[in-house]
Structure 1
Amino acid sequence: MNKKTTFYLARHGQTEWNVAHRIQGQLDSSLTPEGKIQAALLAEQCRTLNITQILTSPLGRAVQTADICSQELQIKPILVKGFEERHFGEWQGQFTYEVQPLADYDEITSEITDCKPAQGESAKQLLTRFETTLRKELKNASKEVSLIIIHGDILRCFMAQFVPDLIPTPHSSPKENASTGYDYKNAELIALSYDQNTGTFSSL
């Protein structure tokens, strides 16, 4: 029996630290006026999508975005532990230019490996945490159409499975150190489905 659950992922609206090029990770900063407009436009996009629940990372910038969407959609957001952004350890709070010269900067920010900042989380650990939580939420609410507010590095890692160069063919394996090479925009909406029978995701 074909049993697929439709859901939508979106990054939070623009924040003060996004503008300042400062690494947030699991620290936080408020939405900018532009970020609030982006969240309102995201809500408007969702108006015709039959959204029945809003799930959000518990970090403030995601909650702010979800709250703006909830006003338009008249759905109270649910905070989900496990949807938090990647923990960037000692890099959190630093400006991008301060860590860019480090030898492992490109691997940590553009690849999906075990490499991580000191006291932080690797891309592989982030992906495992997020996918485990996402599958649990979608399984428990298989008939819901969910808007899920999350973060940029989660999207980079999770959406890599849909990037053609990173998808294994019958005669090859995915490139372990291939760059995901895409920065997801604030309040960008992505439609996907989850097959409850096979546990696989598809891009719509």
Structure 2
Amino acid sequence: MSTTILLIRHGETAWNAVRRLQGHIDIGLNDEGLRQAAALGEALAGAPLAAVISSDLQRARQTAQAVAGQHGIALQTDAMLRERCYGAFEGMLYADIARRYPAEYLEWQARHIDAVMPAGERTAESFRQFYRRAVDGVVRWAGRYAGQTIAVVAHGGVLECAYRAAVGMSLDSPRDFQVKNASVNRFVCSAGKLTLTEWGDVGHLGAPAIDELG
């Protein structure tokens, strides 16, 4: 029995807008992100949602609550759906990472999937470790709501992992698709396998959304 998943990236934050790496740092939405979340909630008001689940970081929770509130559903949170942990890179501008950690930055940009950034307040994850966590998290929730439709609000990296899993894209290949704030991305999950049905829907926003990695 298949589950329909509306996989959504959180709305914009001030750090997204200036290309500052967030990771597990708990940043809230900026004014534009709050507007995006409200528009998202209205757009999905008629969707037949059995559950709304989000990462436990507030930028995802704020976005998801705008959807859950339209349905009178209690929001469920899951740390498995957090963004990748980037260790010492977290909180830094991309340009500053390149200057301060040139070798590690080059490994990251070259998509060495088992490379791990220097530890900071938290221990970083390799891309392979993160991919397994993120995909397992999404698939696990799909299994809990087999045959139904759920909304899952997470982060750009989580959406990237789900996309790669669904289309069979290797982990070390360049990302050639956008992951925009407050975008709705539709998947079907059957027998633990994700299939992509629609990517990058931002028609509800009425204004451009950013992908700061693009």
* TM tier relative to shorter chain: 0.7 to 0.9
Question: Structure 1 vs Structure 2: percent identity of aligned residues?
Answer: 26
State the TM-score, normalized to the length of structure 1: 0.85
- Per the alignment, do residues 109 and 12 of structure 1 end up closer, same or farther by CA in structure 2, a change over 3 Å counting? farther
1:109-120 equivalent positions in 2, closer than 5 A: 111=111, 113-119=113-119, 120=124
Structure 1 residues 149 and 112, CA, compared in 2 at 3 Å: closer, same or farther?
farther
Cα separation, partners in 2 of 1:112 and 1:73, compared to 1, 3 Å: farther
The one-letter code matched in structure 2 to 1:113 is: I
| Map of 1:36 onto structure 2 | 34
Note the residue ranges of structure 1 that are not aligned, 5 or more in a row. 168-173
The letter for the 2-side match of 1:43 is G
Hey, what does 2:13 align to over in structure 1? 15
For 1:116 and 1:38, how far apart are their aligned partners in 2? 33
Counterparts of 2:67 and 2:81 in 1: how far apart (Å)? Answer: 17
* Counterpart in the other structure of 2:185: 190
Matches within 5 A, 1:44-63: 44-63=42-61
Secondary structure of residue in 1 paired with 2:49: coil
Alignment-derived partner of residue 205 in structure 2: none
Residue 107 (structure 1) shift:
4.6
Q: Call closer, same or farther: CA 1:159–1:110 in 2, change over 3 Å.
A: farther
Pick aligned residue for 2:195 from 190, 199, 202: 202
Equivalent residue number for residue 132 of structure 1? 136
Residue 97 of structure 1: aligned partner: 95
Aligned residues: 191
Cα distance in 2 for partners of 1:12, 1:135 equals: 19
Stretches of 4+ aligned residues off by more than 4 angstroms: none
Deviation at 1:140, TM superposition (A): 2.0
Partner of 2:108 in structure 1? 108
Q: Distance in 1 between matches of 2:133 and 2:78?
A: 12
One-letter amino acid of the counterpart of residue 200, structure 1: K
2:146 is equivalent to residue 142 of structure 1: yes
Q: Distance in 2 between matches of 1:110 and 1:190?
A: 26
RMSD: 2.0
Report SS of the residue matched to 2:80: coil
1:7–1:192 contact (8 Å) kept in structure 2: yes
> How far apart in 2 are the matches of 1:109 and 1:72?
40
Q: TM-score, normalised by structure 2?
A: 0.81
**1:161-176 → structure 2 map (5 Å cutoff):** 161-162=165-166, 167=169, 174=170
**Matched position secondary structure for 1:82:** helix
State the alpha-carbon separation in 2 of the partners of residues 162 and 128 from structure 1.
13
Does the CA contact (< 8 Å) of 1:110 and 1:181 recur in 2? no
CA contact (8 A) 1:108 1:122 kept: no
Aligned pair partner of 2:161 in 157, 160, 164: 157
d(CA) in 1 for partners of 2:141, 2:14: 30
Alpha-carbon distance in structure 1 between the residues aligned to 2:134 and 2:112: 14
